[in-house]
Amino acid sequence: MALIVEDGTGLSTAESYISVADASTYFTARAVTAWAALDTDALREAALRKATEYMIATYRSRWQGTRKTEDQALCWPRYDVTVEWYLVADDSVPEIVKRACCELALKASTAELNPDLTQGVLEEIIGPIKTVYDKNSPQRIRYAAIDAMLAPYLKAGGSGCMVGLVRT
C-alpha cells in the first residue's frame, strides 16, 4: 500500500509527514547509510508510519496552534504557530517536523519507539526475597534530540498550560 503523505491541505487519509524519497534524500545528505540499508521501500514506509504515529501520540497536546481541519489525520498543518516571531505557514508541514519524522523513522526501523517499560531495580536479594525499585526510573523513553528539534513548535512549558505572573 502506497504511503499517503500530508501535502499541507489537511488530508484525512495522510499517514506520514514526509515521503520515502524525501526521507532518503535527507539521510543521503547526512551520510546515514542505515536508511538505505533497509531492504525495501515497504520497510521504509512502515518506519515512517510508526514515526508519525509516535509523533501524534507524543506531541498532539503539546503543539502550538490549532489543526487546520477537524477531519485531518495528522497534527499538521496548523494555524497560529509562531516560531522566532514568524508565523508558520498554515498550508504546509514545517521542515523541522519532517526531519524529526525521519529521525524517528530510522529509530523505528530497528526498535520499538514506545516500548513497555518497568521500573529499574536498585536492589535485589534472593533469599528471603527482597526487591527495591527505583521510583525515579523513567516511565517512557524520551528522545532528547527530537524534543530539542521540535521545541520551537511546542507550547511553552510543555504542559499546554500557560499561567501569567504578576509582580506586586
pLDDT range class, residue 164, cuts 50, 70, 90: very low
Is 5 part of any domain? no
For 142, the domain range is 20-153
How many whole angstroms separate alpha carbon 141 and alpha carbon 133? Answer: 18
Q: What is the mean pLDDT of residues 97-115?
A: 95
**Tens digits of per-residue pLDDT, 107-158?**
999 999 987 666 555 566 677 876 666 666 666 678 899 999 999 999 986 4
C-alpha cell at 22: 524525501
Is 161 part of any domain? no
Q: What is the mean pLDDT of residues 1-12?
A: 95
Q: Does residue 167 carry a pLDDT above 90? A: no
Task: Report the pLDDT value the prediction gives residue 95, as an integer from 0 to 100.
Answer: 97
Is 10 part of any domain? no
Contact between 120 and 133 (Cβ < 8 Å): yes
Does this model's pTM top 0.75? My answer is yes
Instruction: Provide the domain count of the chain.
Output: 1
How many whole angstroms separate alpha carbon 55 and alpha carbon 59? Answer: 6
Structure-model confidence comparison of residues 136 and 55, the more confident one: 55
How many whole angstroms separate alpha carbon 63 and alpha carbon 162? Answer: 13
Say which amino acid occupies 46.
A
Is 1 part of any domain? no
pLDDT range class, residue 40, cuts 50, 70, 90: very high
**Tens digits of per-residue pLDDT, 59-89?**
999 999 999 999 999 999 999 999 999 999 9
Contact between 91 and 12 (Cβ < 8 Å): no
Is 13 part of any domain? no
Residue 67 belongs to what H/E stretch? strand 66-67
Is 130 part of any domain? yes
